[in-house]
Amino acid sequence: MIFAVKRHAERVGERHAVQDRHAQGRKDALAEYPYEAAGNLAAQKAVRRCRCWAAPILSPGGSSRHNPIDRAGMLLSPSEIRTFLGVVHMIDVRVTKKHKETDDIYSFELSAMEGHGLPPFSAGSHIDVYLENGITRQYSLYNNIAENRNYCIAVLNAPASRGGSRYMAEVVQQGDRLRISPPRNMFPLQDGGDFYLLVAGGIGITPILSMASHLNRRGKNFAVHYCARTAAGMAFRELLQQAPFAGRVALHTDDGPLEQSFNPDAVIAGAPDGSHLYVCGPNGFMENLISTGRRLGWTDDRLHCESFGSGGVVTNSHGEAFTLRLVRSGLEFIVPPDRSVASVLNENGIAIPLSCEQGMCGTCLIPVVEGEPDHRDTFLTDAEHARNDLFTACCSRSKGPVLSVDL
């Protein structure tokens, strides 16, 4: 018994020593990053990498128990912490409108605080919303990019919500103050396309709406196909039917007559040569569209997708078990087939900051030392995946039996 208690105390001591080294390493890493506004994707990713070290300091209401990064916070001077806060460029906004669009979809108009503007955005952009329950969620902006006083988002309160969308739907009210990130665009429209085929499934209509408004203003050629299970569950149906580009919109519902059913083969095959496809919706929906495009000979540079289901992508993070080796501390953990690296590390007292938990935001990035990651995220580019020097702990795994990381 005495031995067991002693061993436990030793383990706690070892863990704290690991956490201290970990924290100092993170502090050193922070010093390497530029304190720049997120003006382009590369800069945004640098900021993200900063955020992955600083998230618990920055996350209002986030859990900090046993968090080595809080220990990092204690190692930092107040001015350093202020610098980190400056890096992330959080924006305070007011919820100036909340509207129930369907039984389970709410729209929110977020307005700049008195005397402030909001950063401009491009069609296809989304923002992070930092909720007071410590959860961060990503939502596409659906309004016209010409509006610089408001951001408009829509939230599906799905039964499978892990807390973020439910909080937005049930707790956040008109008049509340929210904290958000500046917009960033992982789903941009390509310049110079002859024809844009915009396809939305369910709540995936949000970035498509903004894209359609933008293309219409620029006099571009495009078509919108919007699919939903039922007409009653179709958010923004009236808005689309009354839009200046209403003639370019086709609505498809599973409960409608057969002739209006969505036929991916016919829609993609019927688009003019050189068209670009933009699709947003549930994963299965997108995969079907993308694979149909490929089968019909469309090259990958003309196939673009982004998924926000009930607030995010449903990423499959399951796979073969493997050993995760932490080279700085010498610790090793088995990552079982049905657990993520982040959950195994967090369970063992090595806190990994998490935000989307779906491979979209990059908050959980960890440097890889040896081994080949099985990348499951959509945050890193193909070229970054190929470098295999970073991986997302919330969803990515290892292709081999051992993956060594810089922790």
Binding residues (CB under 6 A) for ligand FES: these are: 354-357, 359-364, 377, 379, 392, 394
Nearest distance from C-beta of residue 281 to ligand FES, angstroms: 20
Element housing 198 (H / E):
strand 196-201
Q: Are strands 390-392 and 373-374 parallel, antiparallel or unpaired?
A: unpaired
Residue (145 or 341) nearer to ligand FES, CB: 341
Nearest distance from C-beta of residue 397 to ligand FES, angstroms: 13
Q: What's the CA gap between 188 and 200, in Å, rounded?
A: 15
Residue (53 or 226) nearer to ligand FES, CB: 53
Q: What's the CA gap between 59 and 130, in Å, rounded?
A: 7
Nearest distance from C-beta of residue 126 to ligand FES, angstroms: 13
Residue (19 or 315) nearer to ligand FES, CB: 315
Nearest distance from C-beta of residue 308 to ligand FES, angstroms: 13
Residue (53 or 106) nearer to ligand FES, CB: 53
Residue (118 or 342) nearer to ligand FES, CB: 342
Q: What are the distances in angstroms from CA 146 to CA 39, 119, 306, 318?
A: 18, 11, 22, 42
Which single residue brings its beta carbon nearest to ligand FES? 394
Beta-bridged to residue 253, according to DSSP, are: 228
Strand order in the sheet with 402-405: 331-335, 322-326, 402-405, 365-370, 390-392
Nearest distance from C-beta of residue 357 to ligand FES, angstroms: 5
Residue (249 or 364) nearer to ligand FES, CB: 364
Of the candidates 88, 85, 54, 93, which has an alpha carbon nearest to the alpha carbon of residue 71?
Answer: 54
Q: Are 54 and 3 in contact (CB under 8 A)?
A: no
The sign of the dihedral angle between the CA atoms of 182, 125, 312, 202 is positive
Beta-bridged to residue 333, according to DSSP, are: 324
Nearest distance from C-beta of residue 246 to ligand FES, angstroms: 37
